[in-house]
Structure 1
Amino acid sequence: MINQIGQVMLYVNDQDASKDFWTEKLGFEVLADETDGPVRWIEVAPKGAATSIILHNKAFVAQMNPDMNLGTPSLMYFTDKFDELYSDFQNKGITVGDIVQIPSGRVFNFADNELNYFAVLEKK
């Protein structure tokens, strides 16, 4: 039986720029940066996280598997330092949306360097 999400595949146009965004702006760690022939993948994650993001070259994946859905996954991150994180993202020049109250708490969206949007939910 499945008991955890291990990795999320994120298909990007520029792997190095995306790696810089996730590590330098969000503080994720690089867990792996591997190349096997023409295939390169970069694994990033918050320190100690059980789930990681794999940055794949979108054009290469499309060439290898034309039927693959290369759309951005809808990811929701959790934080217990919501206001601090929101301000930090703004100070780093990250595109952030307005803070919105939803039934499960406060949430805001942010965009990476390729304008893929993700969400952050306050978890206390």
Structure 2
Amino acid sequence: MLTSITITQIYVPDQDQALDFYVGKLGFEVTNDMDFGPMRWLTVALPGAPDRAVLLEKPGPPSMSEETAAEVRAAISKGVAGGHLFFACDDASRTHAELKAAGVEITEDPVDQPYGIDFGLRDPFGNHIRIAQMKGA
């Protein structure tokens, strides 16, 4: 039986720029950075949680043709084909203020929801990110 999700994936057209955002602005740590010839296996995780990583995958060979990769990059940049990541925090207002001060593109300010307070942002490529302070946290 399956026991957990260990790696999830999002497309990022520029892995070095993705590192700057996910590590430099959001506080992730690099868990793997390996060169496999036609591809770079680059994963990041929140500190203390290396068993739940995000693969920052550049669209292209060997998983898809260069023509398809160009279409994927165009769709991501429009915000229509990017991934979605959901994170929890202890204090949505403080986290929102810290990310805004770091220059992160906030797409939705904190909103009270039935489950807690959450807000939205995008990475430099158009991937959607939601951060929530869950009720009872």
TM-score range, shorter chain: 0.7 to 0.9
Q: Counterparts of 1:25-64 in structure 2 under 5 Å? A: 25-49=25-49, 50-60=51-61, 61-63=63-65
The total of aligned residue pairs comes to 120
* Structure 1 residue identity aligned to 2:8: V
Q: What is the match of residue 84 of structure 1?
A: 94
Contact 1:25–1:92 (8 Å) recurs in 2: yes
One-letter amino acid of the counterpart of residue 119, structure 1: R
Distance 2:82 2:16 in 1: 18
SS at 2:54's partner residue? strand
Q: Which residue of 1 aligns with 2:85?
A: 75
Equivalent residue of 2:94, what SS?
helix
Counterpart residue identity of residue 34, structure 1: M
TM-score by length of 2: 0.80
Residue type matched to 1:95 in 2?
Answer: E
Confirm or deny: 8 A CA contact 2:43 2:56 kept in the other structure: yes
Cα displacement string for residues 27-84 of structure 1 (whole angstroms, at most 9, x for unaligned residues): 10011111111111211011111311011111334318x5xxx633322100112221
Unpaired runs of 5+ in structure 1? none
Q: TM-score, normalised by structure 1?
A: 0.88
Shift of 1:22: 0.3
Measure how far apart 1:107 and its partner are. 0.6
Say whether residues 1:118 and 2:113 are aligned partners.
no
Q: Secondary structure at the match of 1:75?
A: strand
SS in 1 for 2:124: coil
Root mean square deviation of aligned Cα: 1.6
